[in-house]
Amino acid sequence: MPALTRARIVAAAIDLIEREGADAISMRRIAADLGVGVMSLYNHVPNKAALLDAVAESVLSEIAFDDDPTAEWTERVRIQARAFRQIAHHYPRSTMVVVSRQLNSPAGLLPVERALATLREAGFDGEDAVQILRTFIAYIIGSLLREVGVTPTFAPVHRGDVQLSRVDTALFPEVGTLAPLLGVCDHEKSFEYGLDMLIRAIAVQLQESKEESARG
Amino acid sequence: MPALTRARIVAAAIDLIEREGADAISMRRIAADLGVGVMSLYNHVPNKAALLDAVAESVLSEIAFDDDPTAEWTERVRIQARAFRQIAHHYPRSTMVVVSRQLNSPAGLLPVERALATLREAGFDGEDAVQILRTFIAYIIGSLLREVGVTPTFAPVHRGDVQLSRVDTALFPEVGTLAPLLGVCDHEKSFEYGLDMLIRAIAVQLQESKEESARG
DNA sequence: GAGTGACACGTACGCTGTACGTACGTCAAT
DNA sequence: ATTGACGTACGTACAGCGTACGTGTCACTC
């Protein structure tokens, strides 16, 4: 039995969350999974909140960034956004704790640095780069939330298209008509759709600002 | 003392959340605030999860939609998006439970109907309307999360610009340079920035698709 | 009046996070 | 070699949680 470590505790927590959902997590369950007394955990982690922060940080730090500096900047932005989204695939249940937790740790700083660098190289000034980054983060976080919030515990779940089919088409004509489209959601496709929209938006924005400064 | 009602229970729950934060909520606290036994609540609400769903639904249903059908569609989209965001101002703490809860209730259906109608009238086909709506929702939800996630309990909090100022500028040159911009966040301004970006994006998308169908 | 259902409530059980005290290992200074 | 300090594992204990279950009290219907 290896020594009890903060890292081992965090790993056990992530494991437990992925196996049984974020609600199932408790200090006692984690300790049991590690074959250890409950209070032993507190020698390595100050409290449960800090443990969840550590979980978030750990998950976040595993994001794979294969940034290709030779690629077009629009493509680099796309790749970085996808990298962020991949945690929803590797750790679908843990994503909730990442997303619903305000973390101020260097783990979240590397992606920020990369994104800002890419945007600055593309030609955006500091203020625009920050605002654009915030917009992308909001979009990605929102997308992740849809992806994982749909499945609060488990089961593929036919997410309310049962209700959608019996919705009052007089009160909600559009919803009624588009029910087949609203009922199913290819997360990959939806994510790419919005991502593409955002990237095209900043592309034209950059173009316009360049033309403006050329005139000025 | 008025009769105990599901509505009164939900109202008390929202009140409690706004006063003491989402973590402080418990059936016992709510009952105490209502001057009532704990188990009496269960005559009107099946369990805590359902109560939180009701909270989410109640908050969501209070969104003010003053849709102006005569306005330009881009402006209508903007107004609807802002209406959604306003819950973050009226119920900052409750927003977390709205956002982190998958709700399939008619309360969330009206905004969807309005949004789809606006987009369809603007000229988007069904599929695009749904995808665009999803993109906007993701962005709005993500923005709300940033707005309320920053303040997990209370206090204006100087959100980590303390850490930002002592970040290693060699490792994170961009973050270091832009620390003044990253440290503060005018939520209103940031939201509008991204919203404007999204609206311009779908405006050009619509233009392109119109030109294409004109050629075809 | 008897019966019925809705509702307020008390008790109780199994769970939670964690404060506190204890016991044991290792290392430093005496 | 002895002592002491210290880090770590652990058990106990407590306050609080959600809620299953049973009981009492009404208003209302037959």
Confidence of residue A154 (pLDDT cuts 50, 70, 90): very low
Question: Which residues, 6 or more positions from B93, have their beta carbon under 8 angstroms from its beta carbon?
Answer: B17, B18, B21, B22, B148
Greater model confidence, B16 or A214: B16
Lowest mean pLDDT among A183-187, B10-14, B70-74: A183-187
- Give the angle B109-B113-B118 at the CA atoms, nearest 5°: 150
H-only helix segments in B45-186:
48-61, 73-85, 87-90, 92-99, 109-122, 126-149, 161-165, 173-177, 179-183
Closest residue in chain B to residue A183, using alpha carbons only: B130
Which of chain A's residues have a Cβ under 8 Å away from the Cβ of B113? 171-175
Closest residue in chain A to residue B203, using alpha carbons only: A201
**Which of B:107-136 have CB within 8 Å of A?**
109-110, 112-113, 116-117, 120, 126-127, 129-132, 134-135
Q: Mean of the pLDDT values across residues A163-187?
A: 81
- Which nucleotide has its C1' atom closest to residue B41's CA? C8
Whether chain A has a CB inside 8 Å of the CB on B143: the answer is yes
| Cα(A129)–Cα(A121) distance, integer angstroms | 10
Confidence of residue A160 (pLDDT cuts 50, 70, 90): very low
Count of CB atoms within 10 A of residue B96's CB? 23
What type of residue is B161? D
- Which nucleotide has its C1' atom closest to residue A38's CA? D10
| Cα(B110)–Cα(B103) distance, integer angstroms | 13
Q: How far is CA B204 from the centre of its chain?
A: 26
Task: Identify the pLDDT of residue B158.
Answer: 40
Which of chain B's residues have a Cβ under 8 Å away from the Cβ of A109? 167, 172, 175
Instruction: Round to a whole number and report the distance in Å from the CA of A1 to the C1' of D1.
Output: 33
Please answer whether residues B120 and B129 qualify as being in contact, where contact means their C-beta atoms are separated by less than 8 angstroms.
yes
Q: Give the tokens for residue A174.
A: 């559009």
The answer to whether residue B153 scores a pLDDT higher than 50 is no
Whether chain B has a CB inside 8 Å of the CB on A205: the answer is yes
Greater model confidence, B149 or A154: B149
Confidence of residue B129 (pLDDT cuts 50, 70, 90): very high
The answer to whether residue A28 scores a pLDDT higher than 90 is yes
What do you get for the CA distance between the two ends of chain B, in Å? Answer: 70
Q: What is the pLDDT of residues A32-41, one digit of tens each?
A: 999 999 999 9
Task: Identify the pLDDT of residue A157.
Answer: 37
- Give the angle B173-B178-B183 at the CA atoms, nearest 5°: 125
Rounded to a whole number, what is the distance in Å from the CA of A1 to chain B's nearest CA? 36
CA dihedral A33, A39, A42, A43 (to 10 degrees): -100
- Which nucleotide has its C1' atom closest to residue B28's CA? D17
Task: Identify the pLDDT of residue A148.
Answer: 81
Cross-chain CB nearest to B175 (options A116, A138, A160) = A116
- Closest CA-bearing residue to C1' of C16: A26
Q: Mean of the pLDDT values across residues B164-175?
A: 78
Whether chain B has a CB inside 8 Å of the CB on A190: the answer is yes
Q: Mean of the pLDDT values across residues A5-23?
A: 95
The answer to whether residue B175 scores a pLDDT higher than 90 is no
Closest residue in chain B to residue A203, using alpha carbons only: B201
Lowest mean pLDDT among A129-138, A192-201, B155-164, B181-190: B155-164
Residue B157, CB-side half-sphere exposure with 13 Å CA sphere? 15
Count of CB atoms within 10 A of residue B109's CB? 19
Q: Which nucleotides of C are covered by protein (CB under 7 A)?
A: 6-12, 15-21
Task: Please report residues contacting nucleic strand C, using a CB cutoff of 7 A.
Answer: A 25-29, 38-39, 42, 47-49; B 3-4, 36-40, 42-44
Element (DSSP H or E) covering residue B166: none
